[in-house]
Each structure stands twice: as C-alpha cells, then as structure tokens.
Amino acid sequence: MDDIQPPGRLVTLTDVARAAGLGESTVSRVLRNHGSYSKRAGERVAEAVARLGYVPNRLAGSLAGQGASARLVGVVIPSLANVVFPDLLRGLTAALDAEGIPCVIGVSDYDPDREEALAAALLSWRPAALLLTGLEHNPGTVALARAGGVRVVEMIDTDGAGIDAVVGFSNRAVGAASGRHLVARGYRRIGYLGHDLAVDLRAGKRLAGFEAALGEAGLALRAKEIRPGPSSPTSGRVGLEKLLARHPDLDAVYFSNDDMALGGYFACLAAGVAVPGRLALFGFNGLDFAAAMPQPLSTVRTPRLEIGRQAAACLTGDGPKTIDLGFELIEGATA
Amino acid sequence: MDDIQPPGRLVTLTDVARAAGLGESTVSRVLRNHGSYSKRAGERVAEAVARLGYVPNRLAGSLAGQGASARLVGVVIPSLANVVFPDLLRGLTAALDAEGIPCVIGVSDYDPDREEALAAALLSWRPAALLLTGLEHNPGTVALARAGGVRVVEMIDTDGAGIDAVVGFSNRAVGAASGRHLVARGYRRIGYLGHDLAVDLRAGKRLAGFEAALGEAGLALRAKEIRPGPSSPTSGRVGLEKLLARHPDLDAVYFSNDDMALGGYFACLAAGVAVPGRLALFGFNGLDFAAAMPQPLSTVRTPRLEIGRQAAACLTGDGPKTIDLGFELIEGATA
DNA sequence: AACCAGATTGGCAGCGCTGCCAAAAGACGA
DNA sequence: TCGTCTTTTGGCAGCGCTGCCAATCTGGTT
C-alpha cells in the first residue's frame, strides 16, 4: 500500500481507518479500548498504527471529548531552585505518570502577578486540574481558578483557607515545634537567619510560629538576619558570619531551611565554633544531606513527595477538603 | 445583559463575539492581535472578555491553527531528584515563559522504555518541540522523534551523534579534565565513587574520560565503588567509608557528582581524615554548597541553566546543530 | 426459513477556534 | 457627488477526534 504521506502532513486517525479498512469510529474505539469491537478489528488497527507510525492527536481528542477537559494537569510553582518544589513535582509525576497524565508547569518566581498570568495560560489548555502552591494568591488568580471549572489543589501550606482542596502541613506548627524544641533544650539567646520573607510567605509563617513558641516561654528572638535573594548554603554561610559578628552571644540559630543551615554549619566549621556546644543550629526540610553530616542536623522533615502524591490523588475526588500530612521533628545532633 | 452561563459550560469565543456585538473572526483577531481591527473593536472585546471571564481554549486554537502544532514543548528528563534536571528546567522555563510557552514534562526514571512511552505521550499533544536528555535512546524513541515533525533537542551530552539539535557539554572531556587535574596535583592512588553507571550513562562517560586521562599518565584507577540507587550525600558518605575500609591507601577520590562528594567530605570530617592532605576529593557539577564548604570543593562547574536557555533558543531555528557550552574546572581546596 | 437479541460497525455532527475570502465601511481626491 | 483604494468586518469550512445513533452482522431459536 502507499505508506507514503504527503510530507508535512501527519498521519491521522482517518488515515489509519482507511489503511485498516475500517470506519473512523471503530478505530477510535479500538485505540481507546472503549466500547466493543472484534478481535479482527483490534488486530487490523494495531497493524495499521504500527505501519503508518500513527500518533494520536490529543488536542483533537480532548476538544471532541466529554467536558472538553484535557488529560493534563497544570502546576504553578514559585521556584525550581529550592529542592522542595522538584520534590513536589516528583511525587506528583510519579503518581500521574501511572495514569498517563502529564504536568504542564509554570514557574512564578514567587511573583503573584506571574502566578496569575501562568494560571490563566495553563487554564487555556483546559487541564483536568490546576495545582497551585500556598494559599496566598491574587484575587484574580482565585477568580480564574474558581471559574475554570477545574479541580484546584493548593499544596504545601494548610495555614489558612483554600479555594478547593488543600494538601500540606502547617508551617506555623513547624515553626512552633522548632521553637519549643530549642527552648526545651535550654537555649535562651536565639537568633533567626532566613531569606526574603516577603517573598517566601511560608518561611514567614514558620518564623511567626517560632516566635510565638519563644513567647510562650517568656523569650524573644535575640537577633534576626534576613538575606536578600533565594536561600542557599552560600547565603547561609555569609549570613551566619554576619549574625555572629553582630551578636556573638547567641547560643542557637533557627534557619529558614536546611540549605541555609548547611551554610551556617560550614561557617561554624570554618570559624571553629563548636556545634552545638557554643552554637546550636536548627533547620527545616529534612533534606538528605542533613542526615549525612558528621553531626546530623536538627531539623524538621516535611512530607514533600507525599504532598505531591496526595495532590495527585485529590484530582479524582471533588468537594473541598484539607489534607494535613504533618511533619516530623528530627532531633539530630546540632540542637 | 445575561452574564449567566449555563453552569458547566465555559465561555467561548462565540459568546464573547455575541456579547461584543462582533463577528467571531474579529474577536479572534483582536485576541491574538493579528491582522487589523478598529480601536472600537479592541475595546468592545476587552470589555466583553473581562465581563464574561473568558479564557481562550488553546486546544481548539492549536487544532485549527497552522501546522496544528501547539505552543507547548514536551520535555523528558530522567529524574527530578538530581539538581541537574530542575536546573535545566529552570533555564528552560525562564526562557520559554517569556514567550508564554509552557513545558509539559515527563520523568523517565532513567528507563529508556519509559522515555519512549513518554515521548509518544508528549508528542500526542503536538508540541512545538520535544526535548530529551542525553543521546542514548531506544530506536523507537528516535523513530518517534523523527516522525513527529517537530524540532528535537537533546540536552546535556555532546559525546555522540544527535537526532537534530544538541545542547550540552562533553562529559568525557569533563572526566578527562578532572583526571588530568588530579594527576597534575601529584595524586597517584586514585579511587572512584559513583552511583549506578548502567543507569546514569553520562556519569559513565565521565568515568571513561577520567580513566583515559589516568592512562595517559601511566596510571590506573586503584579502586572503584559503585553504589546502588541514585546519588546522594548519604550514599557518598557510606560509600567513602566502605572505599577507605577496603583501600586505606587511596590519596584521592573522584566522585560521580558533588552530592556524593559532599557525603565523602562529611565522612572525612567524621573520621578525622585530613582533606586534602591525607585524601583529596573531586566532584562534579559545581553546586552552590561546593563553594560554601570550609574548604571549597574541587569540582567542575557545568552550564546547567545555560543549557536550558540555549535549548529554548534552539526551538526557533531548524536544521541539526550542536552547541557545546563547555565547562569550568574549579580548583577549590579539596584536591 | 423467518426471527430476535446482542455484538459490531460506520456515518456524521460538532467540540472551539483559525484562515480564507468576500462583503461592508471608511478615506480620499477629482 | 462619485469612483477608487484601503481598512475593517463577518461567514463559513475544516483542523482530528469523539459521541450518538442507526445500520449491519452474528449466532442461536422457533
């Protein structure tokens, strides 16, 4: 037969139908294994598909199908530089790949306006669901999400009201638990070292919970160093050096996350500051390296992969719900 | 007017046209700012869009448009657990977001069969381009990519022949440069510590280049430790402990990447092994923490973000080409 | 041989949009 | 005022597929 297609034109379902000597609907049924068809039809279609190299066009399929929503999910995350978000995606893609649903991603750079623009752009692909990060969004984003007629899942943070489904943990509670831990261990001259809070709202919530816990014990934060830019070990190292220069009397430092804490640990090693004897360090996230350190980092392990998985699981259900996956305080050896 | 839509039905371009008292084509032209239209038409459409909360349906738009290819790119990466790939995506999304093109991603888990399945799945969305990782693929993947009628870009590795465009650096050359560096520094009893090479082919190429460089100097690898599973600081720490137990005489270790090297460094700190006096360490990737360590890690910085950016830039052009972005050896203080 | 329920099949409208083309509306000079 | 050129506009086919419905076929039954 003539396998030769006019170049530039891709093989369509109609081509397959013709090649298989069947109707389009039969081919469609066979390909989706939906409805009934004979064994003979199945074989002929398989043969024609293989011979012509047919790749279905889901653009057309989704457009024609029920509800016109695509087997895609839109995901807006604030960053790819912080391990948290790739981990989230990891849990998500692992769960979704099993169903053959890919993610369309947008990176907002922590900018609510970009988030709104990305949400609109992603919704224009008519995804089955829209996944956002955190609970704080522009009114426009919320309106879009509600009007989009799709399932909306907000990931990571449970401290507040969500649009639809919410999967995460309480950042405030993490901060509080961390604060109580330091207080219980007898630390009294406590400092905080973080990256930009106006940008990373969840770090701000942790800090609020942390300060509240100190307050319960009649304490207050002795010093606070906020570094511009994203979190990183380098930022943590530089930040801790500055913090110690200004407040040499600190006996513990709470970091906005493990990356910052690693930098802080390196600063201590370099300066010969005994950890935790002279200075205790406490992180957040429970990354792999925290456990590999000569003294395992005291930190809080967050269920990042599980958040992604549960978010994927939410897509099938409906109705608002909040899943709090909790967290685990790792005592470690640095605080 | 009746802003009320029958629930469940989303606003369409036809609705906007009716609400604005214009024809569909005029509305389409206004929305895409393509072709000419009057100021009055522009205003009326803007008003109707805002009032009805219209979100265009790109599924339909792409299907109807020229060439029927969507303003999407499909990306298949092997993992999200290794920073390299999020960094790649970071460069990519930064460049593509500017054009309003989102990425549809698939994670293959280093499995060529999954890669093929994902490539097929992504191609079914008729993306403007398909981005793959590395140069080694199933024959089926290559056939799909060629037949898909889309631009194909293979990222990261330039050691071999590509399908279409290739953006990356020579992993073999990285390994060779690393080997020559260690030899030049006078190390002679050199070991290798890596994660699964059968899975991470590029790590294997680096090792091959490394061994070749040792060979040039009349040396051979003294010991090799391959850890199962993905790379991580924990794996690096455990691996180095094993390696040193078996070969206490090693004077340098080449790691498959910085994560492994960090774990190795921690092992040295914990065991009181002087670095680099007693044991030199050499990594790969040039991650942020490498520079923040008390002794900056000797490693090779790879242009991960730039690869993503250049890959995005490739999408507009056509014709096969290879862009070698090179790498930078960072002397550091550990080797 | 006529009949029937169930399995299998094909035709065709239509998903929401764009591209093409022709019609309508302005702009301008004679 | 009229004709001509340009700008603006709307109608409609059709992108590739799915869902619906009616047509056809199958294998018993009577």
- Residues A294 and A192: their CA atoms lie apart, in Å, by 23
Q: Is residue B289 pLDDT above 60, yes or no?
A: yes
Tell me which fold the domain A70-169+305-325 belongs to.
Rossmann fold (3.40.50)
Interior angle at CA A101, CA A146 and CA B304, nearest 5: 100
Per-residue confidence (pLDDT) for residue B5, from 0 to 100: 43
Q: Is B236 on the interface with A (CB under 8 A)?
A: yes
Query: Distance of CA B85 to CAs A223, A257, B291, B330, Å?
Result: 37, 21, 20, 21
CATH topology of domain B71-169+305-326: Rossmann fold (3.40.50)
Residue B276: cis peptide before it, omega within 30 degrees of 0? yes
Report the residue of chain B nearest A141, measured CA to CA.
B53
Q: What is the mean pLDDT of residues B4-25?
A: 83
pLDDT of residue A113: 96
How many beta carbons lie within 10 A of that of residue B280, not counting itself? 23
Contacts of B277 (CB under 8 A, 6+ apart): none
DSSP A43-74: HHHHHHHHHHT----HHHHHHHSGGG--S-EE
Q: Assess B147–A contact: CB distance below 8 Å, yes or no.
A: yes
* Distance separating alpha carbons of residues A174 and A191, to the nearest angstrom: 17
Burial category of A94 from C-beta neighbours within 10 Å (exposed 0-12, middle 13-18, buried 19 and up): middle
**Nearest-CA residue of chain B relative to A268?**
B294
Question: Is A59 touching B (CB cutoff 8 A)?
Answer: yes
Average pLDDT of the segment spanning B166-177: 97
Beta-carbon contacts of A7 under 8 Å, excluding residues fewer than 6 positions away, are none
Q: Report d(CA B209, CA B186) in Å as an integer.
A: 18
Q: Which helix (H) or strand (E) holds A103?
A: strand A103-107
C-alpha distances in Å from residue A110, one per residue of A138, A175, B283 = 12, 21, 31
Q: Are strands B299-301 and B328-330 parallel, antiparallel or unpaired?
A: antiparallel
Q: Do A103 and B104 count as a contact with CB atoms less than 8 A apart?
A: yes
B194 backbone dihedrals φ, ψ, rounded to 5°: -140, 175
Measure the CA–CA gap between A277 and A185, rounded to whole angstroms: 12
Of A249, A263, A254, A266, give the one whose Cα is nearest residue A299: A254
Residue A256 CB partners (closer than 8 Å, separation 6+):
A192, A193, A194, A195, A197, A200, A203, A206, A207, A231, A284
- Per-residue pLDDT at B3 exceeds 70: no
> Is the pLDDT score of B23 beyond 70?
yes
* Protein contacts of strand D with Cβ less than 7 Å away: A 9-10, 12-14, 24-25, 28, 31-32, 34, 56-57, 60-61, 63-66; B 21-26, 29, 35-38, 40-41, 60, 63-64, 68
Q: Which nucleotide is nearest to B15 (CA to C1')?
A: C16
Task: Indicate if the pLDDT at residue B219 is higher than 50.
Answer: yes
How distant is C1' of C14 from CA of A276, in Å?
A: 70
The residue written with tokens 């089926």 in the block is: B140
Spatial separation of the C-alpha atoms in residues B287 and B230, rounded to whole Å:
17
CATH annotation of B171-302: 3.40.50.2300
In tens, the pLDDT along A40-81 reads 999 999 999 999 999 999 999 999 987 668 899 999 999 999
Interval B227-251 mean pLDDT: 96
DSSP 8-class letter at A215: H
Give the per-residue pLDDT at B320. 84
For the cut 90, the answer to whether the pLDDT of residue B198 exceeds it is: no
Band of the pLDDT at B47, cuts 50, 70, 90?
very high
The average pLDDT across B16-38 equals: 94
Q: Which of B80, B236, B270 sits opposite A294 (nearest CB)?
A: B270
Structure tokens at A179: 């604060």
Alpha-carbon torsion B273, B277, B283, B289, what sign? positive
Show residues, CB within 7 A, near nucleic chain C: A 21-26, 29, 35-38, 40-41, 60, 63-64, 68; B 9-10, 12-14, 24-25, 28, 31-32, 34, 56-57, 60-61, 63-66
Q: Which amino acid is at B89?
A: L
Distances (CA, A) of A100 to A29, A309, B54: 18, 14, 29
The fold for domain A13-56 equals 434 Repressor (Amino-terminal Domain) (1.10.260)
Local structure of residue B318 (DSSP, 8 states): -
At A300, the pLDDT band (50, 70, 90 cuts) reads very high
pLDDT in tens, A81-140: 999 999 999 999 999 998 999 999 999 999 999 999 999 999 999 999 999 999 999 999
Q: Say yes or no: A230 contacts chain B, CB-CB below 8 A.
A: no
In Å, how far is B215's CA from the nearest CA of chain A?
33
Contact A57 B124 (CB under 8 A): yes
Per-residue pLDDT, A320? 85
A125 contacts B59? CB cut-off 8 A: yes
**A266 shares contact with chain B (CB less than 8 Å):** yes
Query: Do B71-169+305-326 and B171-302 have matching folds?
Result: yes
- Per-residue model confidence (pLDDT) at position B8: 61
Under 8 Å between Cβ of A141 and A162: no
Q: What is the DSSP string of B257-309?
A: SHHHHHHHHHHHHHHT--TTTT-EEE-SB--HHHHHSSSPPBEEE--HHHHHH
What's the mean per-residue pLDDT of chain B? 94
CA distance to partner chain B, nearest, from residue A218 (Å): 35
Cα–Cα distance measured from residue A312 to residue A193, given in angstroms and rounded to the nearest whole number: 34
pLDDT of residue B306: 97
Q: What is the mean pLDDT of residues A284-303?
A: 97
Contact B169/B178 with Cβ under 8 angstroms?
no
Contact A63 B60 (CB under 8 A): yes
Cβ–Cβ of A10/B94 closer than 8 Å?
no
**Domain locations in chain A as residue ranges:** 13-56, 70-169+305-325, 171-302
Closest residue, chain A, to B262 (C-alpha): A289
Strand order in the sheet with A223-227: A223-227, A190-195, A252-255, A280-282
Q: Which of B58, B107, B292 sits opposite A124 (nearest CB)?
A: B58
B115-138 pLDDT, tens digit per residue, is 999 999 999 999 999 999 999 999
Q: Give me the DSSP letters along B17-54.
A: HHHHTS-HHHHHHHHHT-S---HHHHHHHHHHHHHHT-
| Residue in the block written with tokens 């371009």 | B13
Inter-chain residue contact B83 with A83, CB threshold 8 Å: yes
Per-residue pLDDT at B151 exceeds 60 = yes
A 84-143 residues with CB < 8 A to B: 85-87, 89-90, 93-94, 97, 100, 102-107, 114, 118, 120-126, 143
Which nucleotide is closest, CA of B35 to its C1'?
D8
A318, pLDDT greater than 60: yes
Residues of chain A positioned with their CB less than 8 A from the CB of B293:
266
Which residues in chain A (183-202) have CB-CB distances under 8 A to chain B? none
Cβ neighbors of A46 (< 8 A, separation 6 or more) are A30
Give the gyration radius of chain A's Cα atoms.
Answer: 26
> Can you tell me which residue has its alpha carbon closest to the C1' of nucleotide D26?
A38
Cα–Cα distance, B335 to B14 (Å, whole number): 67
Say if the Cβ atoms of B59 and A53 lie within 8 Å. Answer: no
B190-195 and B165-169 beta bridge pairing: unpaired
Q: Mean per-residue pLDDT for B279-294?
A: 97
pLDDT over 50 at A5, yes or no: no
* CA-based nearest residue to A304, from A285, A323, A291: A285
Which residue from A233, A71, A89, A97 is spatially nearest to A156, judged by alpha carbons?
A89
pLDDT tens for each residue of A140-161: 999 999 988 899 999 999 999 9
Token readout for A330 is 């790792």
Nucleotides of strand C lying closer than 7 angstroms to a protein CB: 7-21
Tens-place pLDDT, residues A176-185: 999 999 999 9
SS3 label, residue A312: helix
Nearest to B84 by CA among B4, B192, B157: B157
Put simply, the answer to whether A262 touches B292 (Cβ < 8 Å) is yes
Judged against a pLDDT cut of 60, whether residue B300 lies above it is answered with yes
Amino acid present at B147 = A
